Structure 1
């Protein structure tokens, strides 16, 4: 009967068993290999209490210096988790030196050191990456490279990837260079993000720069960094930047026609940042929308209204439409409150009470002080206008008017000042009144 597979051949199985036993006896169950395995075991046993002592010292240092509440909040736990591997690696390095000086084999110890070093480097590299998904991808790629290097397959793989190439003019782009460029792009992008965050924090701490200049500098820095990353990556691959510039210019003309609104908003955004007409924190009114500016983007302005809605207004609308900026040069804003009293009430006392009510509200400015003016004599009331000043319009205008009106209401009631309602005098000229019967509609007697 024809055999379907060599696994069913007893001779093949017997040969495999013999080879495995030979490898086990000649490579593993030798006194040199057992010695190296014993070194690994002893080093692990010794490094365990050493690692625990280092971790305990880090705990005490953290408690005394209070690093856990600052920027190094995640550093100490990472170092604490690496205490045992670091101690183990140091003991293995010392053991490697001892085996080498004694002239004994040390290839198993070398492999263990390589694996442990790779693990430590990967652990440290991924600990600084905030995104866990990105950290997993980086860890997987790093382990793949480390495994190939330990097995001695990294060099042959690099030569294989270098042979796979695509000609581009006078240059030759290999698959290896593309993979290296992707890694370079990712590293530079991460580094530029970190540099951008540091620069942004420095700009925000500056007391001399205006908010709009801070936003403009931040966006210009990010665009410059991203452009530099793209150019460096293309240069690393071997792309001719001259031809690339011509190609992108032609593509840019075509894309520009299809993205007119987007480009218009981008340019409008830079204009707003340069002329500083609108900046974060300003209270603006555009059309029927009122709120304060929370952020300036390249395409839109984020506006938060009093009811909690966040509106994204295109930059072009802020350039082409009429915008009321309540805090353009100063946040000091005058608010007018109109009221009236009856003709029988004391006018001067009402004006005095109005000023006292305005002064009792905390948000009302003391300088300029509130003023009350008599504005006219109405049909049913004597009309007044109370003018107050506030310096925080972003906190709301209607609410401060409500507080002043409530204080004014209480004082008028305490002092007998009457707030009138509309009254009409009706004069009947014809004194002859007819009474109409409801049943027939005839004049009554």
Structure 2
């Protein structure tokens, strides 16, 4: 009768796999503490594969034996594969997130994942080939299988290559503010299939990488990060443009968030029915708080106009009667419109 002790003695290689996987799993918390603060959440894949390897190797030892085409052998092969993938993931953490991050080299996440996946796939296929199973020949000789997979993953492959293109040519980067269609947000991460951005309202939007590559994207953070804002406001015709320009430009010079260079400028934008409309242009670098800065600028403009005696006129329209009589002011016309039978008056 074969006892559990005899099976444990026969499963020598299984103990090696179990020991290595357990030690690597125990070392993960220490490794994560050594990573930069913003990268300590990584390593979940390594923990998952190492944990599976521990369970599989322990199961293979209990099932007994490494010889013959037994269930224990199959489980042990799977434990070795998961251990190899887990060790590749740990190597990626050490190289990309610990060593290179310390020297200031930031490898794009999608490029890093592509390298790690390529190494893991090569390791798995090499191990299986040594075991007598050549997956590469099986896939390449099945033209139908290859065509089906290619058609099924067509959009996914387009997004993957789109993400690689964005990472390699550095068109967009993490932390930059962009506008895609009607969506404006800051890039959190460029992943395999999509780019994750967060809006000013705190909502997360996932944009397919193929849309970023093929569509039009407005980058507010490049080339310098400075963004021009414009405020339009009307003043009475009796105020000289030079006086208005001086008051408005002076009002925004000391507003928090408004850049000194390029300096603010102002000029007539349009000659309206009741006022000259001026355009006040100023530059900001903090695009995340552009709304707050714009509100403060408008508040300063109102106070400066009040101190300088600049009148912001109400819309006035002269109405000429059909018989050529005297005109009526806009307020009179508005009173008449309230009694118009077409609008529900008496």
Distance 1:332 1:235, change over 3 A: same
Which of the two has greater helix per residue?
1
Aligned residue in 1 for 2:74 = 178
Question: Structure 1 residue 350: deviation in Å?
Answer: 2.8
Aligned residue in 2 for 1:419 = 312
**Superposition pairs for residues 72-221 of structure 1, below 5 Å?**
126-129=25-28, 157-158=64-65, 162-163=67-68, 165=69, 175-201=71-97, 202-205=99-102, 207=104, 214-221=108-115
Contact 2:256 2:293 (8 Å CA) reproduced: no
Q: 1:231 aligns with which of 125, 142, 147?
A: 125
Distance 1:124 1:316, change over 3 A: closer
Q: 2:251 aligns with which of 344, 357, 371?
A: 357
> What is the CA–CA distance in structure 2 between the aligned matches of 1:240 and 1:231, rounded to whole Å?
7
Distance 1:316 1:141, change over 3 A: closer
Structure 2 unaligned residues grouped into runs of 5+: 1-18, 30-43, 327-346
- The CA deviation string for residues 173-202 of structure 1, in whole angstroms up to 9 with x for no partner, is x54443232121222222122222223324
> What is the CA–CA distance in structure 2 between the aligned matches of 1:133 and 1:195, rounded to whole Å?
15
Return the structure number with greater relative CO, CA threshold 8 A, min gap 6: 2
Aligned residue in 2 for 1:13 = none
**Matched position secondary structure for 2:108:** helix
TM-score (norm 2): 0.71
- The CA deviation string for residues 390-439 of structure 1, in whole angstroms up to 9 with x for no partner, is 2232x1433322221112122222332221221123345348xxxxxxxx
Contact 1:204 1:214 (8 Å CA) reproduced: no
- Does 340-349 or 398-407 show the bigger shift? 340-349
Contact 1:279 1:293 (8 Å CA) reproduced: yes
Distance 1:228 1:133, change over 3 A: closer
- Does 298-307 or 316-325 show the bigger shift? 316-325
1:310 aligns with 2:215: no
**Matched position secondary structure for 2:281:** strand
Structure 1 unaligned residues grouped into runs of 5+: 1-119, 149-153, 166-173, 432-445
Distance 1:332 1:247, change over 3 A: same
**Matched position secondary structure for 2:232:** strand
Contact 2:160 2:209 (8 Å CA) reproduced: yes
Q: Which has the larger radius of gyration?
A: 1
Contact 1:184 1:233 (8 Å CA) reproduced: no
TM-score (norm 1): 0.57
Count of aligned pairs between the two proteins: 290
Contact 1:162 1:175 (8 Å CA) reproduced: no
1:390 aligns with 2:284: yes
Contact 1:376 1:383 (8 Å CA) reproduced: yes
Distance 1:305 1:242, change over 3 A: closer
Contact 2:96 2:112 (8 Å CA) reproduced: yes
Contact 1:346 1:417 (8 Å CA) reproduced: no
Distance 1:192 1:357, change over 3 A: farther
Aligned residue in 1 for 2:149 = 255
Contact 1:278 1:328 (8 Å CA) reproduced: no
- The CA deviation string for residues 54-73 of structure 1, in whole angstroms up to 9 with x for no partner, is xxxxxxxxxxxxxxxxxxxx
**Matched position secondary structure for 2:248:** helix
> What is the CA–CA distance in structure 2 between the aligned matches of 1:423 and 1:327, rounded to whole Å?
42
**Matched position secondary structure for 1:400:** helix
**Matched position secondary structure for 2:67:** helix
Aligned residue in 2 for 1:399 = 292
Query: Stretches of 4+ moved more than 6 A in 1?
Result: 120-123, 131-146
**Matched position secondary structure for 1:385:** strand
1:409 aligns with 2:302: yes
Question: Structure 1 residue 370: deviation in Å?
Answer: 1.1
- The CA deviation string for residues 339-384 of structure 1, in whole angstroms up to 9 with x for no partner, is 1212244543332222222222221111111111223432211221
> What is the CA–CA distance in structure 1 between the aligned matches of 2:195 and 2:137, rounded to whole Å?
37
RMSD over aligned CA atoms reads 3.3
Question: Structure 1 residue 227: deviation in Å?
Answer: 1.9
1:380 aligns with 2:274: yes
- Does 214-223 or 178-187 show the bigger shift? 214-223
